[in-house]
A and B are shown apart, each in its own frame.
Chain A
Amino acid sequence: MEIVHVYTKLHSEFGRQCLFSDRPAELLVDVPADQSLASQFTQRTRRDQSLQASRDMSEHRVNTKRFESESCGLNHEEGGWPKDVNHQVMEQTIRFRKKVEKDESYINSILQLGSVMEHCIRQNNAVDIYQDCFEDGEMPEEHQEPPSAKTINVFRDPNELKRTVTGLSWHPDGGEKLAAAYSCLEFQKTSRDMSLDSYIWDIENPNRPELSLKPASPLVCLEYNPKDCHSLVGGSYNGQIAYWDSRRGSQPVETSSVEHSHRDPVYKIIWLQSKTGTDTFSASTDGQVLWWDVRKLSEPTERLVLDPSREGNPERALGAISLDFESTMPTKFMVGTEQGLVVSCNRKAKTPTEKVVCTYDGHQGPVYALQRNPFFPKNFLTVGDWTARIWSEDIKESSIMWTKYQMSYLMDACWSPVRPSVFFTVKMDGVLDMWDILFKQNDPTLSLKVCDEALYSLRLQDNGRLVACGSQQGEATLLEISSGLSTLQKNEKSLLAAMFERETKREKILEARQREIRLKERSRSEQSRSEDGGREDIDQSPLQLMARAEEDFYVLTETEKKGKEREDQDLSSEKEVQILEQSNE
């Protein structure tokens, strides 16, 4: 019910000054309480209710449309000249300028500005006003921020049909460019429309790749030459190697001939240290490791068949999936195989049998990544099946440290180039893990879900701060790691060296004990089986073991059966005796 008060006033009285006077209160409306209305309400039980006098808000997510931005510079041309002055004509401009210079206000203002300016110039010359007065020599390291990483950019495959990012390589000088190799590794999933290109991205511009490389067959791996920042070499799906010069364009400068290349996709290719800087070697699942000189790709310069029995037999060769080469040890290199073995080889061996030095057996599946620790070359990291393992070169039976079994398959791993105890792994569920083994060994120090699909490749930039990882849908994500994980801590090297030594020693002791136990068993079994004349050979082949097991089984059953028959006979003979007795009675 609205309370309205109506009043009338003469028009001539409007606009007059208000003269306020006091008057007693006047009752305008009196609304008595109406008890009948109470029946429309019921009393609520007492309860606590919180109220907030604020606006109602609702959460709403909006995704802006992706817009393409391009940066370009502005070039200023002359302008602003008054209409009667043609700035091309020198005379007119000079005349204009002279006129301005004669102006009173010009002179005054310049004199004034001049003195102000001089003061500042002198200030600059006297003292560097921007210098750091309090030199922070020892930054307080107690501010340990929690380790974090943030995504800086995502580089998406521009084609319709997305392919997996199978290889990544940073530009050697400064790392402003990232080369990514795209291919589809799933069996028979490549369709005819899939593009064959791989791209070089400038990390500032995620919209368009800087250069596209057009090989004859999709590239599985790609590497920049660490000595020459313009040349790249890539291994492709059909086994060929191609060499590009980024100054010369998208077509490869040279491709190896099909007859002499690998028969299977080339999974890894690495540049070698050599005087000419043009040597590379590549590994593939056809069991071969081939050395190439990029100036002449028609034929490999050397060939090695990865046969564990050292006969060079290609039938029994192990397929190679990863390769590692450390420039401090130029004659040795290591190959990770599909069968889970890591083979260490010596390039300079005289005979092919000596090429394969030793093998390390560790994983149940293909060894997808293999890398030596840049600070401790005797220790290397391998990744395969569901674990990541750290090995020491001297211990061949098992790794010295390993992670627990993860929930999904690990696809790639990489040591940090600045911190010896940090390494990164990527998994098939799209998670990037950062492990700091000095800090925590059970779990990764930082675990980040980068994307929903599987991550296939990983590479760190040389300064240790940027990480690029490539996914199955063709997205290469660039992340920046917090400074805690990318700056060398004090004593880190010595602590890590101590840790590795400790673990190595532990493994050595375990190995020694194993050997002892085996020896004891052997001697014991030899004694017990001397009448059999059977030699308890520990390294029996599985067939022999099975045959022996079968024999034992049959012997056992025979004795049991015979035993049972005898019992039956005894029982029946007893019965007969009883019957006889009965009959006798």
Chain B
Amino acid sequence: MAEVEETLKRIQSQNGVQGIIIINSEGIPIKTTLDNASTVQYAGLIHQLVMKARSTVRDIDPQNDLTFLRIRSKKNEIMIAPDKDYFLIVIQNPSD
């Protein structure tokens, strides 16, 4: 429990990190540093995207699986680390 907290704190302290969201496989946000409305928005949209991305990778090669997803946009970068049951989403504004 404490290690989880520590890990998240470490991530939060990195340069440019704007927010962290952890969602479970049903799309329910477990832990978040953003406000509720944005969290719900991110959770719903990213959950669908990760499902789509994962199925794409596996359709091309069934032995393959999605390990990481990065969405770079004009304003920031959304990084998603998917797992079997949980997703870790970090929104970062790269400083350089």
Asked whether B27 lies within 8 Å of A80 as measured between CB atoms, the reply is: yes
Complex Cα distance A241/B86, Å?
65
Complex Cα distance A77/B14, Å?
30
Instruction: Provide the residues of chain B in CB contact with A109, threshold 8 Å.
Output: 83-86
- A124 within 8 Å of B by Cβ? yes
- A122 within 8 Å of B by Cβ? yes
Asked whether B85 lies within 8 Å of A117 as measured between CB atoms, the reply is: no
List which B1-53 residues lie within 8 A (CB) of chain A.
1, 3-4, 7-8, 10-11, 14-17, 22, 24, 26-28, 30-31, 40-41, 43-45
Interface of B is mostly: mixed
Q: Which residue of A lies closest to B10 (CB)?
A: A118
Asked whether B7 lies within 8 Å of A110 as measured between CB atoms, the reply is: yes
Instruction: Provide the residues of chain A in CB contact with B1, threshold 8 Å.
Output: 101-102, 107
- B95 within 8 Å of A by Cβ? yes
Complex Cα distance A360/B77, Å?
61
Asked whether A107 lies within 8 Å of B3 as measured between CB atoms, the reply is: yes
- A542 within 8 Å of B by Cβ? no
- A460 → B minimal CB distance (Å): 28
- A121 within 8 Å of B by Cβ? yes
List which A292-324 residues lie within 8 A (CB) of chain B.
none
Instruction: Provide the residues of chain A in CB contact with B24, threshold 8 Å.
Output: 100
Complex Cα distance A114/B79, Å?
11
Instruction: Provide the residues of chain B in CB contact with A101, threshold 8 Å.
Output: 1, 4, 30-31
- B5 → A minimal CB distance (Å): 9
Complex Cα distance A112/B68, Å?
12
Instruction: Provide the residues of chain A in CB contact with B95, threshold 8 Å.
Output: 125
List which A65-87 residues lie within 8 A (CB) of chain B.
74-81
Instruction: Provide the residues of chain B in CB contact with A111, threshold 8 Å.
Output: 3-4, 7
Asked whether A118 lies within 8 Å of B14 as measured between CB atoms, the reply is: yes
- B70 within 8 Å of A by Cβ? yes
Interface extent on B, as a size class?
35 or more
- B62 → A minimal CB distance (Å): 23
Instruction: Provide the residues of chain B in CB contact with A127, threshold 8 Å.
Output: 96
Asked whether A121 lies within 8 Å of B86 as measured between CB atoms, the reply is: no
- Most chain-B Cβ atoms within 10 A of its Cβ — which of A101, A110, A116? A110
Asked whether A121 lies within 8 Å of B79 as measured between CB atoms, the reply is: yes
Q: Which residue of A lies closest to B87 (CB)?
A: A113
Instruction: Provide the residues of chain B in CB contact with A130, threshold 8 Å.
Output: 72
Complex Cα distance A96/B30, Å?
9
- B66 within 8 Å of A by Cβ? no
- A525 → B minimal CB distance (Å): 78
Complex Cα distance A107/B88, Å?
12
Asked whether A112 lies within 8 Å of B83 as measured between CB atoms, the reply is: yes
Instruction: Provide the residues of chain B in CB contact with A128, threshold 8 Å.
Output: 94, 96
Asked whether A117 lies within 8 Å of B88 as measured between CB atoms, the reply is: yes
Q: Which of B11, B17, B45, B96 is A76 in contact with, Cβ under 8 Å? A: B45
Asked whether B44 lies within 8 Å of A76 as measured between CB atoms, the reply is: yes
In the complex, per-residue mask of A126-139: 1 if CB is within 8 Å of any chain B CB, else 0:
01101000000000
Asked whether B22 lies within 8 Å of A110 as measured between CB atoms, the reply is: yes
Complex Cα distance A77/B8, Å?
26
- A97 within 8 Å of B by Cβ? yes
- A14 within 8 Å of B by Cβ? no
Complex Cα distance A491/B26, Å?
62
- A105 within 8 Å of B by Cβ? yes
Instruction: Provide the residues of chain B in CB contact with A81, threshold 8 Å.
Output: 28
- A114 → B minimal CB distance (Å): 4
- A106 within 8 Å of B by Cβ? yes
- A120 within 8 Å of B by Cβ? yes
Complex Cα distance A115/B79, Å?
13
Asked whether B92 lies within 8 Å of A121 as measured between CB atoms, the reply is: yes
- B20 → A minimal CB distance (Å): 9
Instruction: Provide the residues of chain B in CB contact with A116, threshold 8 Å.
Output: 67-68, 81
Q: Which residue of A lies closest to B3 (CB)?
A: A111
Q: Which of B14, B31, B67, B96 is A122 in contact with, Cβ under 8 Å? A: B14
Instruction: Provide the residues of chain A in CB contact with B16, threshold 8 Å.
Output: 121, 124-125
List which A509-542 residues lie within 8 A (CB) of chain B.
none
Q: Which of B30, B83, B94 is A113 in contact with, Cβ under 8 Å? A: B83
Complex Cα distance A490/B10, Å?
53
Complex Cα distance A450/B88, Å?
52
Asked whether B30 lies within 8 Å of A80 as measured between CB atoms, the reply is: no
Instruction: Provide the residues of chain A in CB contact with B81, threshold 8 Å.
Output: 113, 116-117
Asked whether B40 lies within 8 Å of A117 as measured between CB atoms, the reply is: no
Q: Which of B3, B28, B68, B86 is A120 in contact with, Cβ under 8 Å? A: B68
Instruction: Provide the residues of chain A in CB contact with B96, threshold 8 Å.
Output: 125, 127-128
- A441 → B minimal CB distance (Å): 44
Q: Which residue of B lies closest to A112 (CB)?
A: B83
Asked whether A125 lies within 8 Å of B14 as measured between CB atoms, the reply is: yes
Asked whether A114 lies within 8 Å of B7 as measured between CB atoms, the reply is: yes
Asked whether A76 lies within 8 Å of B8 as measured between CB atoms, the reply is: no
Complex Cα distance A122/B10, Å?
11
Instruction: Provide the residues of chain B in CB contact with A117, threshold 8 Å.
Output: 11, 79, 81, 88, 90
Complex Cα distance A102/B28, Å?
16
Instruction: Provide the residues of chain B in CB contact with A75, threshold 8 Å.
Output: 41
Instruction: Provide the residues of chain B in CB contact with A76, threshold 8 Å.
Output: 40-41, 43-45
Instruction: Provide the residues of chain A in CB contact with B10, threshold 8 Å.
Output: 114, 118
Complex Cα distance A346/B86, Å?
76
Instruction: Provide the residues of chain B in CB contact with A107, threshold 8 Å.
Output: 1, 3-4
Q: Which residue of B lies closest to A76 (CB)?
A: B44
In the complex, per-residue mask of B60-79: 1 if CB is within 8 Å of any chain A CB, else 0:
00000001101010000101
Given A106-B4, A110-B86, 6 more pairs with CB closer than 8 A: A100-B30, A101-B30, A110-B88, A114-B11, A116-B67, A125-B16
Sample 11 A-B pairs with CB under 8 A, ordered by A number: A101-B30, A107-B3, A113-B81, A114-B7, A116-B68, A116-B81, A117-B88, A118-B11, A121-B15, A121-B16, A125-B95
Query: Ordered nearest first, which 4 A-B pairs have the shortest CB separation?
Result: A76-B44, A114-B7, A113-B81, A113-B88
